[in-house]
Structure 1
Amino acid sequence: MFNNISSKKLSLGTFFCLYIAQMVPLTFLVTALQVIMREGQYSLATIGMLNLVRVPWTIKFLWSPFIDRHCVTVRDYKRTIIITELIYAVALLATGLLNVRSEIMLVIILVFISMLASATQDIAVDALAILSFKKHDHSLLNSMQTMGAFGGAVIGGGVLLILLKIYGWNIVVPCLALFVCMLFIPLIFNSHIKIENEKPRERAKWTDIFNFFARKEIWSQIGFLLLYYMGIVGILSMYRPYLVDKGYDMKEIGFLAGVAGTIASFVMAFSGVLIRRIGIYKARIIIAVLVILSPIYFLAMTFIDFNMTAFVIGIIFIQICHGLAIVVLYTTAMQCVRPGREGTDFTIQVVINHVSGLLITVLAGTVAHLFDYRGLYIAETVVAIVSLIYVLLVFRKEK
């Protein structure tokens, strides 16, 4: 019994490291490039377009059945994860050797390649995680994934941004590549990971991507994935350029936005127990209401003189909402996977959410450019209200 508990903790720690390895570079690169481009007088619309480097994460469902089909054993999954992680690290190392200000386009291309590798790694990690734990332990995996995402954001969007100001691009980014390599070492030496379901199961086919949408009951979940926390995504993507406009430098932004705000989201990763207690229906409604309050708060601040304390409170509140919403979204996504297609179905749902988030972040830059930040906050308020109405109407049968 003791050995089972210890091996479970070791495996959870292994997956936590893998999720951290994905998110630290992703968060750091996008955040740092946003600040560098704004300091270089790029327009808000152009900075918003930077989010297109996340495209591999939005189309990874296209090759997710390939991973499900060809990764049969734990050894197969480990090999796939390690190879993609090494490609990820090499792309990061090459990025760190460039002059980020004079070779910005080449930097963005290499960042895109690194995102392609990390997106593929994510498919394999999610599938192995689901298969190597029993169903009643999947909530623990959900917590590890969420904590890894926001823990990575704290390091990538906060700590490393501060170090970037001190040591520079050509030291921090190569060290980041080494950091990524170190985080798959636990996977190499963890011999406790085993696939729980040893029964023969049908392997995923590429057509399963389309079959996922053939189920009538899945469409309410798709609408939920598209709308749920889109009322805060645009603000999350644009408040760092806003702080640059207010005269704050990279080091200050790294602490205020990357550390203080994201720690709040990290703490909310533990909310799975509370959500399970009150039920998913009530959790959807409560968090949807909190999401509405976020853009309203930022909108109210546009009618008064800028106050950093009030703005930091807003950052912490919106990050709390983000953390809570992510836990609810991933929990519902796990409830909608088909046996034998866990990796494919979970990936499709995450991609749907990423697509809507990508569209919002790209549009957010354009809206802020055309209508100022106040116009962005008004638009986000409308989206958040639509999301709450959707939850109330579509999921009332879950009461």
Structure 2
Amino acid sequence: MKFSIDKAVKTYLDPRIWQILGFGFVSGLPLALTTGTLTYWLAREGVDKTAIGLFALLGIPYAFKFLWAPLLDHLPAPPPFGRLGRRRGWAIVIQLALMAALLAMGAADPNETTLLFGLAGLSVAFLSASQDIVIDAFRIELLDRDEQGAGAAAIQLGYRLGMLVSGAGAIWMSAFLPWFWVYAGMAACLPIGMLLILTANEPAESLESLSQDRKAGYAEWLKRAVVAPFLDFMKHPGWIALLAFALLYKFGDAIGGIMANPFYVEMGFSAEQIASVTKFFGLGATILGTIAGGALVAGIGLIRALVIAGILQAVTNLLFALLAANGADVALLALAVGADNFTGGLGSAAFVAYLSSLCSVAHTGTQYALLTSLMALGRSFFSSGGGWLADQMDWVTFFIATTGLAVPGLLLLWLIARLPERLPAREPGQRMDAKP
């Protein structure tokens, strides 16, 4: 297919793409507040590394969101929000609850009221994962097949902006404000998402599906909502390998990422250095990587792009080993963070596009939730041992080990590249072209 600059520009000027950018912002905002920003908070409070690693278990809802995705995919939102439509109605309900959960988390003390703190954090993660289900389905259903690449880029860029605010912004705010006001400030950003949701049109697929669900009996509804999405996904050749790949592709990055802020603190970097280098500078590198990832996918295809990005993601972890060996060198920190974030953006653009390509239009929310749940399982449950691993070895050895943990995902990618393709693409029950 001939590349058209006019068509590309027209696609990116589409108001729906800018709405999706905003969707990505509110989707990415809560994640850092239960991961990177949280580990920084805990490290500053003197919590030991093993306990910090265990707080990665707050990400468990992301790993199991496919269990309640059928409900959000097929049930109307509670009144009066149901009048907005299924996607818009659930989005507003979830975002209101998420604001309350963030305030509760900020009000708790990780040392004095640990149980309350953990429950509030778990609530934030559950609601954030639920928001992702709705927003991802909204994004895929709003766009035509040839617009999905622009949508993937927009959601990724918005997601990174949200994580910048709740990462660098929150860490910077913590130097001047109590943590309650930091988390209250993050909660105050969520109405941006509500406004964008209210100005977006409910997808036609959602309205049609809701009408069918209302007419269906209980047994038929259960089959449509719960059974059909999983049976449909199992029609993919090598579907078990596809699920394992979703789990392991970013496993090495997840293990290293959960301990990144404790590593920076232990190395002696200040809050200002961490915020400016790892967040603001890192965001620029991620944006460039995401744009490059989209171009790479367009130029050489999804599978080859995933291979290149996967190898680069693993290799850049060695720069953190070099940083650990050299001490608190800000220039070397910038090099390591820049390279890591660039390759992370490269891989994320290809990864999101590939996972989206595996989803049937008829079961968008549930199938995409299943795939991203497995990705989150590697980020949360499996990576919860990252703190223990860091306690057993020095930082140099730790980051070398995270490089090796990328190998299983690359081996699965080699296998997936040899699987037959499911055609035709992007019809209900089928997927987009994913040829290597």
TM-score clears 0.5:
yes
Question: Mean alpha-carbon deviation: is it higher for 195-204 or for 155-164?
Answer: 195-204
Q: 1:288 aligns with which of 310, 314, 322?
A: 310
Q: Deviations over 1:65-91 (max 9, x none)?
A: 112212599622211110111000111
| Structure 2 CA distance for partners of 1:103 and 1:281, relative to 1, 3 Å | same
After TM superposition, list the pairs within 5 Å mapping 1:76-225 onto structure 2: 76-99=86-109, 102-190=112-200, 192-195=201-204, 204-208=224-228, 210-211=230-231, 214-215=234-235, 216-225=237-246
> Are the counterparts in 1 of residues 233 and 367 from structure 2 also a CA contact under 8 Å?
no
Q: Which amino acid aligns with 1:259?
A: F
> Are the counterparts in 1 of residues 34 and 125 from structure 2 also a CA contact under 8 Å?
no
> Are the counterparts in 2 of residues 367 and 375 from structure 1 also a CA contact under 8 Å?
no
Q: Deviations over 1:312-334 (max 9, x none)?
A: 21111111121111111111111
| Structure 2 CA distance for partners of 1:170 and 1:357, relative to 1, 3 Å | closer
Q: 1:67 aligns with which of 59, 69, 72?
A: 72
Q: Which residue of 2 aligns with 1:323?
A: 345
| Structure 2: gaps (5+ residues) | 1-9, 77-81, 214-220, 420-434
Tell me the SS of whatever aligns to 2:394.
helix
Q: Which residue of 1 aligns with 2:301?
A: 279
Q: Which residue of 2 aligns with 1:249?
A: 270
2: CA distance between counterparts of 1:266 and 1:108?
A: 32
> Are the counterparts in 2 of residues 12 and 144 from structure 1 also a CA contact under 8 Å?
yes
Q: Which residue of 2 aligns with 1:24?
A: 29
| Structure 1: gaps (5+ residues) | none
How much has 1:233 moved relative to structure 2?
2.0
| Structure 2 CA distance for partners of 1:295 and 1:31, relative to 1, 3 Å | closer
1: CA distance between counterparts of 2:354 and 2:330?
A: 36
How much has 1:244 moved relative to structure 2?
0.8
1: CA distance between counterparts of 2:108 and 2:46?
A: 20
TM-score (norm 1): 0.89
| Structure 2 CA distance for partners of 1:100 and 1:219, relative to 1, 3 Å | closer
Q: Which residue of 1 aligns with 2:258?
A: 237
How much has 1:387 moved relative to structure 2?
3.0
Q: Which amino acid aligns with 1:59?
A: F
How much has 1:22 moved relative to structure 2?
2.5
Identity of matched residues, %: 18
> Are the counterparts in 2 of residues 45 and 369 from structure 1 also a CA contact under 8 Å?
yes
Tell me the SS of whatever aligns to 2:47.
coil
Question: Mean alpha-carbon deviation: is it higher for 11-20 or for 300-309?
Answer: 300-309
Q: 1:56 aligns with which of 58, 61, 64?
A: 61
CA RMSD of aligned residues (A): 2.7
Q: 2:358 aligns with which of 336, 351, 356?
A: 336
Tell me the SS of whatever aligns to 1:166.
coil
2: CA distance between counterparts of 1:29 and 1:355?
A: 15
Work out whether 1:347 is the aligned partner of 2:352.
no
| Structure 2 CA distance for partners of 1:247 and 1:126, relative to 1, 3 Å | same
> Are the counterparts in 1 of residues 282 and 338 from structure 2 also a CA contact under 8 Å?
yes
> Are the counterparts in 2 of residues 28 and 161 from structure 1 also a CA contact under 8 Å?
no
How much has 1:359 moved relative to structure 2?
3.5
1: CA distance between counterparts of 2:309 and 2:202?
A: 35
2: CA distance between counterparts of 1:7 and 1:255?
A: 29
1: CA distance between counterparts of 2:373 and 2:26?
A: 19
> Are the counterparts in 2 of residues 65 and 208 from structure 1 also a CA contact under 8 Å?
no
How much has 1:198 moved relative to structure 2?
7.7
| Structure 2 CA distance for partners of 1:197 and 1:156, relative to 1, 3 Å | closer
Tell me the SS of whatever aligns to 1:207.
helix
Question: Mean alpha-carbon deviation: is it higher for 212-221 or for 357-366?
Answer: 212-221
> Are the counterparts in 2 of residues 95 and 107 from structure 1 also a CA contact under 8 Å?
yes
| Structure 2 CA distance for partners of 1:88 and 1:378, relative to 1, 3 Å | same
How much has 1:381 moved relative to structure 2?
2.0
> Are the counterparts in 1 of residues 61 and 125 from structure 2 also a CA contact under 8 Å?
yes
Q: Which amino acid aligns with 1:11?
A: R
How many residues align structurally? Answer: 395
> Are the counterparts in 2 of residues 232 and 294 from structure 1 also a CA contact under 8 Å?
no
Q: Which residue of 1 aligns with 2:430?
A: none
Q: Which residue of 1 aligns with 2:289?
A: 268
How much has 1:250 moved relative to structure 2?
2.9
Tell me the SS of whatever aligns to 1:167.
coil
2: CA distance between counterparts of 1:303 and 1:117?
A: 40
